[in-house]
Structure 1
Amino acid sequence: MKSTVYPLTIFASLLVSTKATPVPVDVSSTSLKECGDQWYSPCSYTCRVGADSNALCPVVNGEAMDDCAGACYTPLCYSCNGTALAENPRKSSGTFTLTASNPDQAFDGQPIQAAGNHFWVGGHAATYCPSNVGSICNSFPNDTTIIGNGYMATVVPGGQEIYWQTDGALAFTQAHSISEFNLSYYGGGIAYEGGGYFGPNGEDLITCPVTPEGSNMTAWKLFARLVGVEFPGSCVGLYAVVHDQNITAGAWQYT
């Protein structure tokens, strides 16, 4: 798929401004650093030295964004030719797994797994294989959640679809059912070749600690920051990184 190159003005509402207000404090007594005529906290920003001037780019999900002629972006979905941003190629076919990325969190690098018709950071995938289908399930990884563009990578008749619920949660249908509870957006997120996985309209992802029904343990549930949805302060932002797979199914069905 050919990348489309856009002038930076088109992305004005999507990208983070590099402008920052100088901090009116005694910098000699703080851990702030200088970037041109601006002071910043290394915990929240990084200084990108460009051809024209220094630019502050924020640290998002534990990772500093890159600078493209004054606009900050993540290479998980964009690339820069020096003066303009190009959206990276989106995945149009094939299967993939997802891992969580946020170097500031203990779950960094953990797989994103399917269980209870939702997606979770870490833990194990919940799968099922009926005894009357023979040994076919021995060929599946089973504890690895594999998905495609809008579907679970399974072989159960009728398949299993992925969708977004009204609270921003990423969910999937039960086997032998087309019911989509609290449907907000049909289909999965936007996956980029060799990049990241984002919400249905390119929204950032977030994970929140919840206690699944029937459990007394806390787990990290996956959501997208859908417009109008508010999340508690206990939630943490993350990137979901795409990893291509060369198999068509990860399980007979996910449960």
Structure 2
Amino acid sequence: MKFIALFAGLPLLAAAAPTQRALGMPLQGDLCMPFQHDLGTPLQGGDFTAFAWFEHEPIHPPIQARGLRFWVGGEPATYCPSPPVVHCPPGKVTAFSGGGYGLSVMVPGGQRVYVSPTGELGYTQAHSAYIPPGSFLGPFEYTPGIPFGHYTFNGKGFIACPNSKEGPTTWKVFAHIPNAIVPTSDIQDCLPFQAVTEIFGSPPAAWQYT
């Protein structure tokens, strides 16, 4: 039970959360080809938050955005400019928008979600459209549900990978792909999970994530 000590005290999801797909499936299958979405086409689906649902763990920490990457647990990193912007959202949670292709933000131009060439789930810096060459822009899929839905990349869940084999550990979110380059260099150190979602009814969630 790797996460019990690390995330003790975090709020739990209700026991009725769905098991959309069995966890622990082998890391296999072809990496999807880069997906170009027409930015002029509205993306379907309301804003939502996501939790990491581990099959054999009793806790389900939130997925948080910080440092242009996503993490299991902790707090998001957000920014609100000084006046004339005076009504920034609280920025206390991480919420996705546009079917999971972006973040729920007010900043002009938005912030786009992608999978890096090494498999990390990341997002663009505010006021910048830069995405590392070789990254994957999808396909992401958000399936709403009441009370819970789910969020996938290329039809699969995600994996949480420790940033170190020793000392205090944080867990970075990667796509569930066979050739991910993880911090410990051993993909067997990572834990597969489903991204279970809840509808976020008060968009946007932040001015921007940093």
TM-score computed with the length of structure 2 as normaliser: 0.69
Where 1:76 maps in the other structure, the secondary structure is coil
Query: Are the equivalent residues in 1 in contact too, given 2:64–2:73 (CA < 8 A)?
Result: yes
The answer to whether residue 195 in structure 2 is matched with residue 240 in structure 1 is yes
Determine if contact 2:118/2:179 at 8 Å carries over to the other structure: no
For the residues of structure 2 that align with 1:113 and 1:188, how far apart are their CA atoms? 20
Q: 1:222 to 1:136 in 2, by over 3 A?
A: same
Question: How many residues were matched structurally?
Answer: 162
The partner residue of 1:197 within 151, 173, 183 is 151
Residue deviations 1:11-65, cap 9 Å, x none?
xxxxxxxxxxxxxxxxxxxxxxxxxxxxxxxxxxxxxxxxxxxxxxxxxxxxxxx
Structure 2 residue aligned with 1:158: 109
Q: What's the CA shift for 1:189? A: 2.3
Task: Answer 1 or 2: higher relative contact order, Cα 8 Å, separation at least 6.
Answer: 2
In 2 relative to 1, CA 241–228 (structure 1 residues): closer, same or farther, beyond 3 Å? same
Structure-2 residue corresponding to 1:99: 51
Q: What is the one-letter code of the residue matched to 2:47? A: T
Shift of 1:105: 3.2
Higher normalized strand content (fraction of residues):
1
Q: CA offsets per residue over residues 200-224 of structure 1, 9 Å max, x none?
A: x11231100116xxxx842110111
Alignment map for 1:49-198 (pairs within 5 Å): 75-76=19-20, 92-105=44-57, 108-137=59-88, 140-148=89-97, 149=99, 150-187=101-138, 189-194=140-145, 195-198=149-152
Unaligned runs of 5+ in 1: 1-73, 78-90
Task: State the secondary structure of the residue aligned to 1:143.
Answer: coil
- AA of the residue aligned to 2:95: I
Residue of structure 1 equivalent to 2:205: 250
Larger radius of gyration: 1
Stretches of 4+ aligned residues off by more than 3 angstroms: 227-231
Partner of 2:3: none
1:172-210 alpha-carbon deviations (Å, 9 max, x no partner): 0000100012542114621112221111x1123110011
Partner of 1:207: 160
Deviation at residue 248 of structure 1 after TM alignment:
2.2
Task: Give 1:235 shift.
Answer: 0.7
CA offsets 1:99-156 (integer angstroms, 9 cap, x no match)? 11115236x321100000010000000000111234211xx23120011120111011
SS at match of 1:233: helix
- Alpha-carbon contact 1:161-1:187 (below 8 Å) kept: no
C-alpha RMSD of matched pairs (Å)? 2.4
Amino acid at match of 2:206: A
How far apart are the structure 1 equivalents of 2:74 and 2:139? 21
Q: Structure 1: which amino acid aligns with 2:204? A: A
Q: Which residue of 2 aligns with 1:33?
A: none
Secondary structure of 2:135's match? strand
Normalising by structure 1, we get a TM-score of 0.58
Same amino acid, percent of matched pairs: 37
Amino acid at match of 1:205: F
> Cα gap change, 1:114/1:183 in structure 2, threshold over 3 Å: closer, same or farther?
farther
